[in-house]
Structure 1
Amino acid sequence: MSDTSRLHTAGTTLLDRARELRPLIESEAAAAEAAGRLTAPVVAALHEAGLFGIWIPAPLGGAELSPRELLAVFEELSYADPSTGWVVMATTLENGTGGAYLGDDAVEQIFTGPRTPLFAGQGTRPGTAVREDGGFRLSGQWSFASGMPHAQYAHSLAAVEGTDEVRIFITPIEDVKMLGNWDVLGLRATGSIDYAIDGAFVPESYTHLFTENEPSRGGAIYRLGVLDQALICHSGWAIGTGRRLLDELIRHAGARAGRPGQIAGSDAFHAGFARAEAQLRAATALVHETWEDVERTLDAGRRLDVRQETMVRLALNHVTSTVAEVARFVYASGGTSALRDGLIQRLFRDVHAGTAHITSGPQVLHECGRELAGLAPDQSWVLFALE
């Protein structure tokens, strides 16, 4: 088993590389939205910068960033373009946890090529798997496979027939039928298509329990399990996208300063902007404070307690709802400029696509409140509920 006693950190090199890619990502964003997928120059640049390897365990040649290092990279990429940030967070979560939890045979096949392997798929609504000698027979249809147009492997959740097991299955992209129905309000460039798999054989080594939290490779971050690691993704995405919204409104207002009747001269706008800035900064601070506490726990060789599990969920839920409020304020303040096709309109649509994700749903908020109020004694988190 892996030595998971300490948290691995890698410094700011990859964050600096992500920041250097901002001009390219911004220049390609409109073309990516029109195509429904990231453009080839952006994907190539992300590969060259090593950004698809940020979550892969260090023993496999990955960067294995810490939670707060991951947050910073996702914030930066999502600031440049929310769809780019979303694709990178989804694919890196999946190839990183695959590297940590899959069997040795699978890892030796998948992680030995010259380029970082990309995984894409769905980890919330399960397909079905039937156990066979040496593995499983996998079938199902899944939705919202972010980054699938760029992936070499599918990452799919399935329930094992006749058991209580729920596992993640990694299959070559050749086993996947892409359904190509990506026509949505926002995050259009993520290529989050539906897909199907019909009776593909998956060797045992290419699977792991969905609830796995004891890595075979890599350090303490993988003790969080897949779900808690996913909360890092969506928290960083929300912070970066929310910051970009407010910065775009600053530019919009400044360009109209001195003109009669514009928001730059409005006391109501000034007060509203101050509130939005405070709300976003406060929500961001809660995310960073919460994950700083998590890092201390992981680095001490411990697992999260119930209150910490509550707080990582609450911090994500709060920053996501805050960014939705910020987006509505920015859109309303932008007037007809926001109504027309352009960056503010796209950011507004992207935010409202991102807030629909199950990790930020109302059930989670209800359960957080129940635990914080002391009304869930002796209960623990199981996915999105206390039991």
Structure 2
Amino acid sequence: MSDTPRLHRAGTTLLERARDLRPLIEREAERAETDGKLTAPVVDALHDAGLFGSWVPAPLGGAELSPAELLAIFETLTYADPSTGWVVMATCLENGTAGAYLGEDAVERIFKGPRMPLIAGQGTRTGVAVPENGGHRLTGQWSFASGMYHAQYAHSAAVVEGTDEVRIFITPIEDVKMLGNWDVLGLRATGSIDYSIDGVFVPESQSHAFALDEPLRGGAIYRLGLLDQALICHSGWALGIGRRLLDELAGYAAARSGRPGQLAGSDAFHTGFARAEAKFRAASALIRETWDGVERTLDDGGRLSVRQETMVRLALNHITATVTEVAAFVYASGGTTALRDGLIQRLFRDAQAGAAHILSGPQALRECGRELAGLAQGERWVVLGLEG
């Protein structure tokens, strides 16, 4: 057994609060879609429920949930509304990793208020950071900053000039220029805008190495590092939207039961629904099985093997692909109801948008296949690829 702290588990209190918010989130979803961001009542309710502190280390007053607990939270909120689930997962990840990895001075500034801060931004496309006495000067433009309209700080990846090290920089929202160009097919209420930062000085304590996997505070979940923790986010989101798609289609069919020529009397529909349900349940089981194994490893004081890192990537890629198949079946079965503006159409569009994320893309899938086939001996995962 390692001396590294075991996983922290907080129980079901936050999950129960997330479930209680479903009626509010569903009522506000259409308005949020129109506004291109979550509504103030939903953001306030998420704050009041403590959900933005789900990932924050316990020493900073956060819940520091385990991977399984986080998966359940994101599944529940996404079931209520995929955009709400997406914003919460993104900001919670960035809140949690900032709390675990930033220096003491930064943590004292950022986490001192009565409310948990909201940190939003982009960690995959990089700006440039020029070293300067006591920190770095940050410049760049980033895309897909989910939840930025609600944030007090930005989380931005940049390459350090002269060393090529990739670091994450946390800057006050006042230093950010929001470009506001969020005109997209789905996940419209996430407000995942582009933004820029121009020559802002960032103190040393307000940045950390992208690849850091040894926390300054908090327990074993932070030993996963930023990228592997992000896989929890998207896995939980896929669990929620996939389940909601199938439940909405079942309700649609049942409401038309007994009428001649309707979906409920179609043998082809019955067969298609059974196949969609089986595919989604199988993909969900792979997610849960894989993360259960991760939790056991972390509890034992270990770090993930290459094969485990392959499997968490493969499980996410598989459930994302499955959800897009399910969404296509639901949309095709929904007839004119799905064609018109409404929940089924919105779920279909959100599923396509979520599947476009880089973590669920083809590069990781190819690398998973290479490792599983025994063709990557001596290599390890670095972000989305295997390197010697």
Equivalence for 2:27: 27
Q: Tell me the distance in 1 between the aligned counterparts of 2:5 and 2:205.
A: 24
* 1:152-198 residue CA offsets vs partner (Å, 9 max, x unmatched): 00000000001121000000000000001111000000010000000
Q: Deviations over 1:83-115 (max 9, x none)?
A: 000000000000100000000000001001011
Q: TM-score by structure 1 length?
A: 0.99
Query: Structure 2 CA distance, aligned partners of 1:131 and 1:241?
Result: 43
Q: Which amino acid aligns with 1:4?
A: T
Residue in 2 that maps onto 1:106: 106
* Counterpart check, 1:88 vs 2:88: yes
Match of 1:55 in 2: 55
3-state DSSP of counterpart to 1:217: coil
One-letter code of the match for 1:375? L
Contact (CA 8 Å) 1:4, 1:215: kept in 2 or not?
Answer: no
Separation of aligned partners in 1, 2:367 and 2:329: 28
Which residue in 2 is equivalent to 1:274? 274
Equivalent residue, structure 2, for 1:351 = 351
Alignment partners' CA distance in 2, 1:243 and 1:189: 20
Equivalent AA in structure 2 for residue 105 of structure 1: D
* TM-score, length of structure 2 as denominator length: 0.99
Partner Cα separation in structure 2 for residue 384 and residue 123 of structure 1: 13
In structure 2, C-alpha distance between the alignment counterparts of 1:210 and 1:306, rounded to whole Å? 19
Contact 1:4 1:223 in 2 (8 A): no
Q: Could you report, residue by residue, the CA deviation over 1:323-359 in whole angstroms, capped at 9, with x for unpaired residues?
A: 0000000000001100000000000000000000000
Q: Verify the 8 A CA contact 1:5 1:300 in the aligned structure 2.
A: no
Distance in 1 (CA, whole Å) between partners of 2:260 and 2:190 is: 40
1:148 corresponds in structure 2 to 148
Aligned to 2:257: 257
1:334 aligns with 334
Corresponding letter in the other structure for 1:60: L
How many Å separate the matches in 1 of 2:286 and 2:261? 37
Q: Distance in 2 between matches of 1:323 and 1:28?
A: 24
- Rounded Cα–Cα distance in structure 2 between residues aligned with 1:201 and 1:226: 23
Shift of 1:241: 0.3
Measure the CA separation in 1 of the matches of 2:315 and 2:278.
Answer: 16
Q: Which amino acid aligns with 2:224?
A: L
Aligned ranges for residues 1-387 of structure 1 at < 5 Å?
A: 4-387=4-387
Q: How far did residue 131 of structure 1 move?
A: 0.2
Matched residue SS, 2:52:
helix
Deviation at 1:261, TM superposition (A): 1.1
Residues in 2 aligned to 1:270 and 1:126: alpha-carbon distance in whole angstroms? 48
Instruction: Determine the C-alpha separation between the residues in 1 that align with 2:32 and 2:81.
Output: 10
Offset of residue 56 of structure 1: 0.1
How far the C-alpha of 1:260 sits from its partner, in A, is 1.1
Q: CA deviation at 1:363?
A: 0.7
**Secondary structure of 1:181's match?**
coil
- Give, in angstroms, the shift of residue 310 of structure 1: 0.2
Aligned to 1:348, the other structure's residue is in SS state helix
Count of matched residue positions in the alignment of Structure 1 and Structure 2: 386
Amino acid at match of 2:374: G
Distance in 2, matches of 1:259 and 1:354, equals 35
Q: Which secondary structure does the structure 2 equivalent of 1:183 belong to?
A: coil
Q: Distance in 1 between matches of 2:309 and 2:47?
A: 33
Q: Which amino acid aligns with 2:136?
A: F
Q: Distance in 2 between matches of 1:263 and 1:386?
A: 47
* CA distance in 2 between partners of 1:168 and 1:137 (Å): 13
Three-state SS of the structure 1 residue aligned to 2:334 is helix
SS in 1 for 2:321: helix
- 2:306 & 2:200 partners in 1: Cα distance? 38
Whole-angstrom distance in 1 between the partners of 2:266 and 2:279? 20
Q: Which amino acid aligns with 1:56?
A: V
**1:205-264 Cα distance to aligned partner (Å, 9 max, x none):** 000000000000000000000000000000000010000000000110001111111110
Provide the rounded CA distance (Å) in 2 between the counterparts of 1:344 and 1:71.
23
1:91, 1:43 → 2: CA distance? 12
Gaps of 5+ in 1: none
* CA shift digits 1:350-381 (9 cap, x unpaired): 00000000000001111001101111111100
Identity of aligned residues (%): 79
Q: Amino acid of the residue matched to residue 92 of structure 1?
A: C
The amino acid across from 1:228 in the alignment is D
What's the offset of the Cα at 1:4?
A: 3.4
SS in 2 for 1:19: helix
Cα shift readout 1:50-104 (whole Å, capped 9, x = no counterpart): 0000000000000000000000000000000000000000000001000000000
SS at match of 1:301: coil
Q: CA RMSD in A?
A: 0.8
DSSP 3-state at the match of 2:137: strand
